[in-house]
Amino acid sequence: MLYLRRGGKGARRLLLSLLLLAIWKAGSSQVHYSVPEEAKHGTFVGRVAQDLGLELAELVPRLFRVASKGRGDLLEVNLQNGILFVNSRIDREELCGRSLECSIHLEVVVQRPPQFFHVEVEVKDINDNPPVFREREQRLFIPESRLLGSHFPLEGAADADIGTNSLLTYTLSPSDYFSLDIQASDELSKSLALELRKVLDREETPELRLLLTATDGGKPELQGTVQLLITVLDVNDNAPVFSQAVYRVHLSETIANGTLVTTLNASDADEGVNGEIAFFFGSDVPVNIRKNFNIDSGSGEITLLGKLDYEETKSYEIQVKAVDKGSPPMSNHCKVFVKVLDENDNAPELAVRSLSLPVGEDAPLGTVIAFVSVSDRDSSANGQVTCTLTPHVPFKLVSTFKNYYSLVLDSALDREKLSHYELVVTARDGGSPSLSATASVSVEVADVNDNAPTFAQPEYTVFVKENNPPGCHIFTVSARDADAQENALVSYSLVERRVGERALSSYVSVHAESGRVFALQPLDHEELELLRFQVSARDAGVPPLGSAVTLQVFVLDENDHAPALLPPGAGAGGGAGGGELVWRAVGAGHVVAKVRAVDADSGYNAWLSYELLPAAGGARSPFRVGLYTGEISTTRALDEADAPRQRLLVLVKDHGEPALAVTATVLLSLVDSGQAPKASLGMSAGATDPKLALVDVNVYLIIAICAVSSLLVLTLLLYTALRCSASPMEGACGPGKPVLVCSSAVGSWSYSQQRRQRVCSGEGPPKTDLMAFSPSLPPGPNMSEENQHPEGNSEHSGNVSPSFNLCL
């Protein structure tokens, strides 16, 4: 024995918890008590709380309660001290009848966590019922001619107690004529009879009075008495005699109404009326036998009247009397013992008590969901019940003890896969054919916040035109949460960061409930081409879960900038309002000036074209302007008829919708050869030393033509020599001329100036350069001219992209 002297209540609680755990794992939670019947109110039965391992302080908080299958007011528990006591009078005979075993089954249930216990209280029999004879007086008519040793049956007493308290002994008051003969049997009750010990003489003793006393085996002993009134007859001196003293019959409980049970056979040695016999049930036959059986007084046939039920009565003991028609009549008795055979005619009974509903999807394995109890009124194999559960469910039945099961969680739950289970518990007996019963258990799975909001895709691309109105809706993000109720309520917010020197929240905002994204201010493509940020989605669970999605907002260009003219000093050539000196001796196609302009927009909105406006009066101008280059050149040779001062108006416009334009004014001064050579030379070159002597322009032209021709011939000779010396199997990849590469990924045109790549197949020299255009760029109306002047838009964009030489 282990004694805990220190540690106080905590140590005792630990010990009780360990004991309770050991009892539970052993598969039994039953406590057994006994109490005598007729115990007074308040009689102590047992310390049920202590025996079940429960602390007294836990009884009320854990909702301790006791329920009985039968009468629930016989026993009660004091929640202050945990003692089980007698609450009202317990009469064993009323509770269990003649059954040898009599118990009160209590079910103890506590919550938090839920536990289920069984308490069996055996009701002990006390000797509180005396033997009772059915009648206060028994009359017997005995002829004086009866022989010595004759027996005369008597009706015995009945005791409602059981065991030794119901064992009866009989005594007869002293008599010279009669003695008491008792026949005992293991299965049957005692048979009483008076045995004649001395020949009767009606003239001497016409009537006798005796006292029969029945005493039970209890302590103290109780007694019952009956008066025997014996009348001596001297006529009909032969009583009927049965062929056998006991008739034994076995009947199935499903036998049909009207079936013959048995036929009695009796004979009488007398003749005539004294030998005619009639059969009757004994006067002590109970009412239930008279309802279920009938006897034919003439033939002695006993037939079934009602329906047998093994579960109500397992056997019948019928007292039958045969009476002749003599005067006075004589009678004799026999017993018919009918044993009822059990049939599987009762289906199992199921009782389900749900405790922990609904069940959280995060409930641990082994959580008790409900308690199941089964019973079957049949016996033997017909009453042996097995319990099964719907297959393929995350639950199982665990047997606690005989005919009691716990429905527990067997595997993990996931409400998002299945939120409701309809379980069917089936109880089946061992009969043939077997009978079954079912009970449904509805289990709801409670949601737990185990799923974060998810977006359909991790990233979205949004295109927004610049100059949008403040507060306009640009996109809607939506996240889905597989959970339910507040765990599925999603709110949205920006993941704050810096965009340049400003906060992200100064550009965009997101509605917390709808996920609508708004632009808080007009966006400017020239300031911000791409705005990349994240939107967070978070549910309302505890703890909250969240995720984020990336938004790429491309700001599309609008034609909101007109072309801007470069001043005359920017780059080479003149600008708006600049003056140029042109010699009259120049020929057709000579470039005399160039208009330069830029556009802050991109793409088509920054693609500029140049147009020479017609002169006043409709006169034809000897000059023209390149559509995309802005170069002003002569259309013919100048002559004396041309005005010495030419004022040209050049319209510069972009390709936006609508197009924006600006007008450049170019002033040209036509001079003859030899006039103002210094000024002319300074305007054309701008790098020659002004102190050098001027040379006639024709000499320079001749020298230039000769130099170019010589260079061309030298280049051809060198090219031919290289071709002849190269191997025919080797590929030749030479540097190609840079080409214009048009890209509209963000709506811009750019000219490659830095890198060139060569793509060679290994056969032959390079043939041509690769020109790449974006498929999203529609062909312009003057694309052919643009190809003739690829260098015309080199000022429009500073982007640099590689060019490719494709060698095939």
Per-residue pLDDT, 700: 65
Per-residue pLDDT, 479: 95
pLDDT tens-digit profile of 509-538? Answer: 999 999 999 999 999 998 888 999 999 999
Quick one: fold of 349-446? Immunoglobulin-like (2.60.40)
Show me where the domains of the chain are located. 28-124, 137-233, 241-341, 349-446, 454-556, 564-568+579-671
737 pLDDT higher than 90: no
pLDDT tens-digit profile of 32-64? Answer: 888 898 888 888 989 888 888 888 888 888 888
% residues pLDDT > 90 (the chain): 35
722 pLDDT higher than 50: yes
H helix or E strand, kind and range, residue 683: helix 677-684
Q: Tell me which of 354-358, 365-369, 620-624, 794-798 is least confident.
A: 794-798
Per-residue pLDDT, 786: 37
Q: Tell me which of 210-219, 245-254, 760-769 is least confident.
A: 760-769
Per-residue pLDDT, 236: 75
CA-to-CA distance for 668 and 175, rounded, in angstroms? 176
CA-to-CA distance for 761 and 770, rounded, in angstroms? 14
Per-residue pLDDT, 522: 93
Residue 539, number of CB atoms within 10 A of its CB: 23
Please tell me whether residue 722 adopts helix, strand or coil conformation. helix
Q: Tell me which of 33-47, 691-705, 712-726, 768-782 is least confident.
A: 768-782
Per-residue pLDDT, 526: 86
Q: Report strand pairing: 315-324 vs 331-341.
A: antiparallel
pLDDT tens-digit profile of 15-28? Answer: 555 444 444 433 34
Q: φ and ψ at 499, to 5 degrees?
A: -115, 95
Per-residue pLDDT, 354: 75
- Name the β-bridge partners of 263: 301
Average pLDDT over residues 354-369: 86
Question: From the centroid of its chain, how far is CA 690?
Answer: 95
Per-residue pLDDT, 744: 35
Q: What's domain 28-124's superfamily in CATH?
A: Cadherins (2.60.40.60)
Residue 658: name the closest of 560, 565, 744 by CA: 560
Quick one: fold of 137-233? Immunoglobulin-like (2.60.40)
Average pLDDT, the chain: 79
Q: Where are the alpha helices (DSSP H) in 280-354?
A: 287-292
Report yes or no: 284 and 333 within 8 Å, Cβ to Cβ. no
Domain spanning 564-568+579-671, CATH architecture? Sandwich (2.60)
Q: Tell me which of 67-81, 165-179, 235-249, 314-328 is least confident.
A: 67-81
- The DSSP string of 45-102 is EE-HHHHTT--GGGTTTTT-EEEESS-TTSEEEETTTTEEEE-S---HHHHHTT-S--
Q: Is the pTM of this model over 0.75?
A: no
Q: What class does CATH assign to 241-341?
A: mainly beta
Helix, strand, coil % over all residues of the chain, rounded to 5: 15, 40, 50
30 pLDDT higher than 90: no
Q: Tell me which of 297-311, 595-609, 674-688 is least confident.
A: 674-688
Domain spanning 454-556, CATH architecture? Sandwich (2.60)
Average pLDDT over residues 625-649: 89
Report yes or no: 85 and 45 within 8 Å, Cβ to Cβ. yes
**Is the bond into 658 cis (omega within 30 degrees of 0)?**
yes
Per-residue pLDDT, 53: 84
- Name the β-bridge partners of 632: 593, 625
CA-to-CA distance for 652 and 562, rounded, in angstroms? 9
Q: Tell me which of 91-105, 297-311, 597-611, 774-788 is least confident.
A: 774-788
Report yes or no: 368 and 407 within 8 Å, Cβ to Cβ. yes
Per-residue pLDDT, 16: 53
Average pLDDT over residues 540-552: 93
Q: Report strand pairing: 516-519 vs 508-510.
A: antiparallel
Average pLDDT over residues 722-738: 46
Residue 771: name the closest of 753, 785, 787 by CA: 787
Q: φ and ψ at 646, to 5 degrees?
A: -110, 130
CA-to-CA distance for 430 and 378, rounded, in angstroms? 10
Residue 558: name the closest of 603, 597, 590 by CA: 603
- Name the β-bridge partners of 119: 31, 106
**Residue found under tokens 């004979």:** 267
% residues pLDDT > 70 (the chain): 80
Residue 356, number of CB atoms within 10 A of its CB: 18
CA-to-CA distance for 239 and 690, rounded, in angstroms? 178
Average pLDDT over residues 10-16: 54
651 pLDDT higher than 90: yes
Burial letters for 123-161: b for 16+ Cβ neighbours within 10 Å, e otherwise?
A: bebebbbbbebeeeebebbbbbbbeeebbbbbbbbbbbb
| 241-341 shares its CATH topology with 564-568+579-671 | yes
